[in-house]
Amino acid sequence: MRNDLAGPNRHASVDRPPPKAPDTSDEVLIGKIAAGNRLAMQALFARHNVRIYRFVLRMVGDNGLAEDLTSEVFLSVWQQAHRFEARSAVTTWLLAIARYKALAELRRRPQAASSERESSDISDPADTPDVAFEIKHRGEILRKCLARLSREHREVIDLVYYHEKSVQEVAEIIGIGGNTVKTRMFYARKQLSKLLEAEGVVGALS
């Protein structure tokens, strides 16, 4: 009887480490995509497609075109994942691809550059109608003011405030020096603040 009881207790006392959760970081997903993993491609797309779409939309100002270019960005990721060297964040790489494609399209279709800039809003279902209206109203004012900035200033504001990129990351995406990014950011903030104040929005960038 003593031996019967001892057996199970002895095995039960062995500590087994819990199974490790799968690593789903962007870098790991890119590695899997490079190996042809379609589920990894779907996961990366689900994680970043809205971010890329909005970035492209603010550049080209056309919803349909932005959707097409976003699809092209992720097609490029599928085809070129093996070239990613992890010298920057995956999102920085994605935004650089998106910017290249958007600029190429603007050069090919100049009329797209002059169209009104707008972005789709994803509303929080918890917002009351009054709060949702206020958010939408301020968003419309901000988009209108952003559209009045030069493309160079607009994209710096976009990358820093909407995508939370550092000066160095912005420099990598745009292909300019860090000091140039800082200079553009200074004048972009100054001009945008003036435009917002003229619309009755004070302290938005403080």
12-21, 34-43, 96-105, 136-145: lowest mean pLDDT where? 12-21
- Whether residue 137 is predicted with pLDDT greater than 80 in this model: the reply is no
**Which domains can be identified in the chain, with CATH numbers?**
24-119 (1.10.1740.10), 126-206 (1.10.10.10)
Phi, psi of 89 (to 5 degrees): -65, 155
DSSP string, 5-49: HHHHHHHHTS--PPPPPP---HHHHHHHHHTT-HHHHHHHHHHHH
User: Averaged over 132-153, what is the pLDDT?
Assistant: 74
Give residue-wise pLDDT tens across range 43-92.
999 999 999 999 999 888 889 999 999 999 999 999 999 999 888 899 99
Nearest to 167, CA basis, from 157, 154, 183, 182: 182
Residue 116: Cβ-neighbour burial (10 angstroms; 0-12, 13-18, 19+): exposed
Nearest to 70, CA basis, from 84, 82, 56: 56
Give residue-wise pLDDT tens across range 8-40.
555 555 566 665 656 689 999 999 999 999 999
